[in-house]
């Protein structure tokens, strides 16, 4: 078929499937042996709900210190989103994380909600989740439904993904203004000093040094992580990251 992006591919796959439980995974996701059993069990307990599980970056011996930084970021996001809560978490506008990288729902729920939006080249799962909230379809995040995300992480690649997600998030939230206040979309920096720093950090030579220099890797972890975060922010607002 014509390339319709992730949303179009997902809708095509669901249309070809038999009625029953739909389990979605990204192409770089590695499930555990009990993956299907876990999703099925949750749907027996909570029929008609949508479930999302984890997509965890695995420690990789030869991936360098950026791999460890990505794991650190994921742990920080989870703490900010869920605090000390573990296990099954009912999602709401105040506590919301939805990803089709590890998601399941009944085919009847999909028919009730409608297809993933093929006009979106990103954030199609975010929009799908907000649509479910608006229609009072229960959404859950289950930390026990774990998968491994076999992702090759670079600052430049992740920044482009972050920038794309941010731009599409703004577009999605224009459709759901009632949820806008629950999501913090960072605007480009206005302060001259910050803009200068971001412009410097987004230069290719600087990014290459931060990612690959053995000298930089010798610096204290707290400093390196701060530079990684600032470089990601700088690249996220760089024009060529859109």
Task: Note the pLDDT tens digit of each residue in 40-78.
Answer: 999 999 999 999 999 998 877 655 678 888 888 888 888
Decide the pairing of beta strands 88-90 and 139-142: antiparallel
* This model's pTM is above 0.75: yes
Tokens at 238, concatenated: 């760089």
Q: Is 55 in contact with 99 (CB distance < 8 Å)?
A: yes
**Top-confidence residue, 203 or 188:** 203
Position 242 confidence tier, pLDDT thresholds 50, 70, 90: very low
Rounded distance between C-alpha atoms, residue 163 and residue 172, angstroms:
14
């Amino acid at each position: 078929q014509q390339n319709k992006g992730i949303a179009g591919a997902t809708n095509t796959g669901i249309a070809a499937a038999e009625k029953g439980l739909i389990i979605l995974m990204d192409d770089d996701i590695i499930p555990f042996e009990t993956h299907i059993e876990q999703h099925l069990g949750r749907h027996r307990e909570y029929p008609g709900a949508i479930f999302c599980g984890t997509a965890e970056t695995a420690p990789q011996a030869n991936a360098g210190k950026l791999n460890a930084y990505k794991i650190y970021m994921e742990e920080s996001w989870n703490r900010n989103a869920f605090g000390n809560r573990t296990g099954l978490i009912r999602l709401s506008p105040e506590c919301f994380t939805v990803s089709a990288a590890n998601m399941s729902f009944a085919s009847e729920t999909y028919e009730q909600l409608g297809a993933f939006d093929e006009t979106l080249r990103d954030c199609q799962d975010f929009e799908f989740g907000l649509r479910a909230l608006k229609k009072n379809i229960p959404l859950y995040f289950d930390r026990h439904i774990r998968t491994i995300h076999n992702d090759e992480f670079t600052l430049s690649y992740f920044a482009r993904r972050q920038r794309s997600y941010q731009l599409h998030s703004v577009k999605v939230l224009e459709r759901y203004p009632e949820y806008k206040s629950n999501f913090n979309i960072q605007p480009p920096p206005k302060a001259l000093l910050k803009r200068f720093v971001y412009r410097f950090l987004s230069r290719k030579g600087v990014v290459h040094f931060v990612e690959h220099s053995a000298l930089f890797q010798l610096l204290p972890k707290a400093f390196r992580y701060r530079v990684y975060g600032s470089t990601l922010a700088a690249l996220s607002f760089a024009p060529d990251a859109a």
